[in-house]
Amino acid sequence: SGAAAAGLKTGQIIVKVGERPISGLLELKNSLVGVSPGSKIKLLVRSGKTEEEVEVLLGNRPDLPHFPGDRLRQMERMGGPISRVRDSFSRVIQTDMRPRPDQIGGPVVDLKGRVIGITMARTDRTRSFVMPAAAVQKLLENAPQDAALAQVRKPDEQAALPVRRMAAPQGGLQPGGEDRLRRHLTEMQRLMDFMREEMENLEQGR
């Protein structure tokens, strides 16, 4: 393989592909999408406390045994419905939660009620993907493609709005979905802040 030819050894950790940080196997896979065999890439590799840059010449993918398409789809769907878009995500973590596809896009909270991420996809009967809150925050810092979608309400205007249940976005992002996701996340965060403020006021009034 290209990695072996470049001298990579078992136990070494790939930290970056080019300028892209790598946080796991899924991120590594996504970083190589669209890169053809014969291309050269630069890897930043960590071994113990030292790091070094290695140039790798990509080879062909090995011919691995695989299941027929129908059988594979049947195996994936065992245990409940799955998301139509369920791969090629970056900066997500894998969990064993089992959200329904119509719950994708909803918040993930810890035992203290703090939002720690959002669900991205249900991939099969045992796996789902969650985007951590830090990655969501970084996404929100980017300017939206359509400025009309980035409408910010003042705190008093937000407080005057009735609390309503919002339907969770369907699994996967469609064209323009990034901006809609940003808007949903912004409204969701404001709602959480409003609810937290109300709880604090109730506790102070006791």
In a domain, 195, yes or no: yes
Do 120 and 31 belong together in one domain?
A: no
pLDDT confidence of residue 154: 56
Kindly state the helix (H) or strand (E) to which residue 47 belongs, with its residue range: strand 40-47
Do 49 and 85 belong together in one domain?
A: no
In a domain, 63, yes or no: no
The domain of 158 spans: 79-204
In a domain, 65, yes or no: no
Do 20 and 98 belong together in one domain?
A: no
Do 39 and 106 belong together in one domain?
A: no
User: How confident is the model over 51-70, as a mean pLDDT?
Assistant: 67
pLDDT confidence of residue 47: 85
What's the whole-model pTM score? 0.37
- Number of domains within the chain: 2
Mean pLDDT of the chain: 72
User: How confident is the model over 144-158, as a mean pLDDT?
Assistant: 57
pLDDT confidence of residue 65: 54
| Region for 165 from its dihedrals, namely left if φ exceeds 0, alpha if ψ lies in -120 to 50, beta otherwise | beta
pLDDT confidence of residue 186: 75
Do 50 and 13 belong together in one domain?
A: yes
Split at pLDDT 50, 70, 90, the class of 74 is low
Do 130 and 196 belong together in one domain?
A: yes
